[in-house]
Amino acid sequence: MLEQLLPAISGIGSSTPVQGDTSVRSRVAVTETGDDFGNMLARMASDTFDTLKAAEATSVAGITDKASVQQVVESVMAAEQSLQTALAVRDKVVSAYLEISRMTI
């Protein structure tokens, strides 16, 4: 599921809606020298992806009696938290994007 989310979120950062040499565009270019917001989102999404993968691995290990119940619960809960954070941020980003697209020109 996150495989689709990952390019989508980083896509939001790279698809600058305002093209051309406007003031908004130049301001984006200035901030890009530091850490890009899109990069931050992409990093966050890949972190979430790693946590989910780890939770999956621990769950499988738990089924085959190689991990304790506590370990399984802990990793699944960590994954759930990361996923919830990613979802909340995604919703916020999407709503901000929609807000911009609804802007009266």
Partner 1 sequence: MVDPLKVSQGIAAAGLDVQSHRMRIIAENMANAQSTANTPGGDPYTRKTIVFSNDFDEALGSNLVGVEQIGKDPSPYRVERNPSHPAADADGNVKYPNVNILVEMADMRESNRSYEANLQMMKQSRSMVMMTIDMLRSS
Binding to partner 1, residues 61-90 (CB under 8 A): 68-71, 73-74, 77-78, 81, 84-85, 88-89
Q: Using an 8 Å Cβ cutoff, are 10 and 90 in contact?
A: no
Q: Using an 8 Å Cβ cutoff, are 59 and 71 in contact?
A: no
Minimum distance between the CB of residue 71 and partner 1, rounded to whole angstroms? 7
For residues 55 and 23, give the distance between their C-alpha atoms in angstroms, rounded to a whole number: 45
Give 46 or 85: the residue with its C-beta nearer to partner 1: 85
Residues in touch with partner 1 (CB under 8 A):
68-71, 73-74, 77-78, 81, 84-85, 88-89, 91-92, 95
